[in-house]
Structure 1
C-alpha cells in the first residue's frame, strides 16, 4: 500500500511508517490492510492537500499547453534568438515534462499504485525542485550582465557560453533528481532548502539591481525612461513579483521545518508551499506569452485576450 510519502515524494516523512507509542504488533495487519486513500495520514487535515491537487490540475489544463506553445515559438524564432532563449527553452521543457507526469501521478494514486511509477514521480519532483530555481537564476544572470555590464555582455554573447551553463544546470538537475529517487541520504531535504534560499536571494538581489539600473538610466534632462528600457523595466518588475510569489512561501516556511510537528508539516506546510512552487509551471510561460506582440499559432482574438495590451514596439532581445 502507498503512504502519504507517495503523494508527496519530496518529503522524507512517512506518517504510516511512524508508529505511535501505543502501536502494538497485532495492530500492524489492520494498518497494512487499510484501504488506500490519497489523504492517507491526513484524513482530518485535507485542506492543504486539496489546495495542491487543485494547483496540479491547473498545471495540466493551462501550464502544459502554455509550455508547449513557448517551446514551439522558441523553435520558430531560432534564427533570431534572444540571449536568454536557451534558458527559457530548457525551463519550458522541464515544466512541460513535469506537467506530463501529473496525469501519471493521479493514475498511480487512484489506480496503479505502482512502486515504479512512484519512483518516476520522485524523479520528476526532483527535476521540478531544481530546474526552476536554477534556470530562473541563469535568466537573471544573463539580464544582470546585459544591463549592468554591457561591454562584458557583448564579449560573451556567443551561444556556446549559455549552452555550457545550461548543460551544467541540467547535470545538477538530473544528479539531484537521481539522488532523490534513490533516497536514503541523510538530511537530503536540507539540500533543497539551501538551494531555494540561495537562488531566491540571488534572484531578488539580481532583479532589484536591474530595476535600480534601469530607473537611473534616463537620458540627461529627461524625466521619462527610454521606451525600450521602460518595457524592460516592466518585464523585470513582473518577473520579480512572480519570483517573490512562487518562492517566498518556501523560503519563509521550510527553514523552520523542525519547529512543526511531522503531521502539520506533511499535511499543511509542505503541500501548500510546494503548490506555490508548482504553479510557476503555468505562470512562467503565461508571462512570457503576454510579453509578445503577437503569439504565433494562435488567432488574433486569443492573442488580444492573452496579452496585457496591444504592443507597437518590437520585443527586446
Structure 2
C-alpha cells in the first residue's frame, strides 16, 4: 500500500523540480535591458557617436529644414533630383531631432520604448541616406552620360516610383532593426553600404570623366558651367568618401573583432561618420545654390564664401 501511494507522489514531484530548474535556467540566460546595448562599461564609442550627432541638432536640423523650404519654393521649376533631395532632407530632419532623446534616455529615463524609437530612427538613417544618395547619383549619371535617354525619362512618375520603393525598403529595414533578434542582421547593412558606396563612386567618377573629356576641340579651358559641375561632383565624391569609407572599411571585417569590441567601438565609430552626413549634405547643397532665397547676400558670403565668389563669376545654371 505504501509503495503504491508513494509512487504517484514521486512521479509528480520530479517533473515539478525539472520545471523549476528549467525556468531557473531560462531566467539566468535572459539579459537585463540596457540602454547602452550591453556596452555599459565601454561607452566611449557610443558617446563619440552622440557627440557628432549633436552637430546634427544645431546645424543639420535647421539646414535640412531650409533645404526643404527652398525645394518647396522652387517647386514650379524643379530639378529632376529634387524629389530625392526632399525625401533625404525630410529623413535627416527626423534623424537630427533624435539625439536629445538619446541623451535623456541614456542618463535619465532608461526607457525600453524610447530605445525602440531610437533604433527605428537609426534604421531610417542607415537606409534612407545611402539609397537616396544613390538615386541622386543615378539621376546625375544618366543626365551627363546618357543625355538622350535622360530626356526620355524626365517624367516625375519614374522618380516618384523609385522614391516610394526606397521609403518602403527604409521602413522595412527600420522595423526589422527595431524588433531585433534576426540572425546576421548587421550584415544586411554591411552589404547595403558596400553596394551603395561602390555605385556612388562609380557614378561620380564616370561623371567626372565625361566632363573632363567634354572640352571643345583645341580648347584648354572647360566651359564655366561644366567646370562648376565638375567641382560640384568632385566635392560630392569627397563627401561620399568621408562619410561612407569608414563603415565600408570597418564593417566587412566584423569577424576579426570580438563581439564586444565590434558592438561597442567599431560600430559606433563607423556610424558616427555616417550620421554626421545629415549636416554635411544639406550644407553642400546650400553652398551650391546661386542664391539662397531665405538668406541675405552678406550671410551667404559669410557661410559659403567660395560658393558666393563662384556665383558672381558664373551665370545661373539651368535646372535639369
Q: TM-score when scaled to structure 2?
A: 0.85
Match of 1:178 among 175, 178, 193: 175
Larger relative helix fraction: 2
**Which one has a bigger Cα radius of gyration?**
2
For 1:255 and 1:162, how far apart are their aligned partners in 2? 31
Task: State how 1:6-155 maps to structure 2 within 5 Å.
Answer: 41=39, 43=41, 45-155=42-152
1:314 counterpart (313, 316, 319): 316
- Name the CA shift for 1:139/1:288 in 2 (closer, same or farther; >3 Å): same
- 1:220 partnered with 2:217: yes
Decide whether the 8 Å contact of 2:71 with 2:86 is kept in 1: yes
The whole-number CA distance in structure 2 between the counterparts of 1:256 and 1:38 is: 23
Aligned residues: 287
- Pick closer, same or farther for the CA change 1:255–1:316 going to 2, 3 Å: farther
Name the Cα RMSD after superposition: 2.0
Gap runs ≥5 in structure 1? 1-24
Residue 270 of structure 1 deviates from its aligned partner by 1.1
Contact 1:42/1:263, CA 8 A, preserved across alignment: no
User: Which residue pairs with 1:17 in the alignment?
Assistant: none
Q: TM-score, with normalisation over the residues of structure 1?
A: 0.86
Distance between the aligned counterparts of 1:239 and 1:81, measured in 2?
Answer: 20
Query: In the alignment, is the contact (CA less than 8 A) between 1:211 and 1:233 conserved in 2?
Result: yes
Contact 2:204/2:237 (<8 A) preserved:
yes
Contact in 1 for aligned 2:68/2:90 (Cα 8 Å): yes
- Whole-Å Cα distance in 1 between the matches of residues 166 and 67 of structure 2? 20
In structure 2, the CA distance between the partners of 1:190 and 1:248, relative to structure 1 (3 Å rule), is same
Which of 244, 249, 253 does residue 247 from structure 1 map onto? 244
Q: Find the partner of 1:159 among 156, 160, 167.
A: 156
Give the structure 2 partner of residue 203 of structure 1: 200
Counterpart Cα distance in 2 of 1:106 and 1:73: 31
CA distance in 1, matches of 2:288, 2:205: 20
Which string of whole-angstrom CA distances, capped at 9 and with x for unpartnered residues, describes residues 281-311 of structure 1?
0000000001112212222221112222321
Residues 86-128 of structure 1 show CA distances to partners (whole Å, capped at 9, x for unaligned) of 0000000000000112222222222222111111111111100
d(CA) in 2 for partners of 1:134, 1:32: 35
Instruction: Identify the residue that residue 11 of structure 2 maps to in structure 1.
Output: none
Listed as ranges, the gaps of 5+ residues in structure 2 are 1-24
Using a 3 Å threshold, how does the CA distance of structure 1 residues 178 and 41 change in structure 2: closer, same or farther? Answer: closer
Quick one: structure 1 residues 51 and 291, their matched pair in 2 at CA, closer, same or farther if it must change by over 3 Å? same
Who is 1:264 aligned against?
261
Contact 2:35 2:105 in 1 (8 A): no
Q: Structure 2 vs 1, CA of residues 112 and 154 (structure 1 numbering), >3 Å: closer, same or farther? A: same
